[in-house]
Structure formats: C-alpha cells, structure tokens
C-alpha cells in the first residue's frame, strides 16, 4: 500500500516562517516522522510539495493507479482552489486534509475549506502531530478498504 503526501504553497518554508503559528520544525523533519510511522505499518510513503496550483492538481491526478490514499495540506489553496477540490474528487481515493494551525481560529477567510468536503477527514490545529495522526488514520482507512475488498472477493467465490 502507498500513501502520497501532497504539500501546498509555502510549506517548504516551515521552520522559518511564522513559527508562532506553524512551529519550528522543517518540512523534512515532519516527513521523516511520517516516514517512520509508515514504515512501522508496512506502508510506502511518497512526498511532494509545490507552490503551484497546477502542479498540485497534476500530482493528485498522478495518484490514480499509483497510490492508495492521499494526505494533503493544500495550504492557502484550501480556501480558493476549486481545481484541487475537483482533482481530489476525480481520483476517488481516500484523502485526509491536514493543517498545522486551527484554520477555524484564524482569519475569517481561512475558516472555509473548499477541499474538506471531498476528503475522508480533516485534522487541524495539532501542529506537526496532525501529520502523525493523518498517517495513522490513513493506515486504518486503507486496512478497512483492503478488508472490504477481501470480504467481497470471498463472497463471490
């Protein structure tokens, strides 16, 4: 099983930008922690970050046939990108949306997520630990999907 982690704009600046909001860990540190959890669960994990909306849409589409689930932090595109929302919906893969800060406690324009409605869940305000929770959640979702497929195959015999 494989999880693709897609990170949106400015997340490459973690550890440098607005540490009071986003913390001091760099994106590579967060990814290293996620990789450990995935490895412990026998899951392959791949990371992608872009500041460009079209590249994020392309990467989501590339997940079809390549990945079993997506963990995504669309960052600022969360609140503006119908294209990213539609790409998540189009691939029909389980997705979990993650935000380091609690978007519901921030500026009003950040309260609305266009992408959350097409995701299995949303984790906000847990800092880097939110990514840890997302991997655990995705592992559980993928195991449930696998169990359902197995049960259906057995029932057809």
Q: In whole angstroms, what is the distance from residue 55 CA to residue 94 CA? A: 20
- Kindly tell me the burial class for residue 35, based on how many C-beta atoms sit within 10 Å of its own C-beta (0-12, 13-18, 19 or more): middle
Domains and CATH numbers, the chain: 2-156 (3.40.50.9100)
- Residues 57-116 pLDDT 10s: 999 999 999 999 999 999 999 998 999 999 999 999 999 999 997 777 666 766 689 999
Q: Which of the following is catalytic: 31, 77, 99, 132?
A: 99
Quote the mean pLDDT of the chain: 92
Q: Which of the following is catalytic: 22, 31, 77, 132?
A: 22
Is residue 99 part of the annotated active site? The answer reads yes
Is residue 31 part of the annotated active site? The answer reads no
């Amino acid at each position: 099983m494989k999880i693709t982690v897609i990170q949106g704009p400015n997340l490459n600046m973690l550890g440098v930008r607005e540490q009071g909001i986003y913390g001091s860990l760099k994106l590579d540190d967060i990814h290293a922690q996620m990789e450990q959890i995935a490895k412990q669960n026998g899951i392959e994990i791949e990371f992608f970050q872009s500041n460009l909306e079209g590249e994020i849409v392309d990467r989501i589409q590339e997940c079809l046939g390549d990945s079993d689930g997506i963990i995504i932090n669309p960052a600022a595109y969360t609140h503006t990108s119908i294209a990213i929302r539609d790409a998540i919906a189009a691939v029909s893969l389980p997705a979990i949306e993650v935000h380091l800060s609690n978007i519901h406690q921030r500026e009003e324009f950040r309260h609305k997520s266009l992408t959350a409605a097409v995701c299995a869940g949303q984790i906000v305000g847990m800092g880097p630990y939110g990514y840890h929770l997302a991997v655990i959640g995705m592992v559980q979702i993928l195991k449930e999907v696998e169990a359902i497929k197995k049960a259906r195959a057995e029932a057809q015999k």
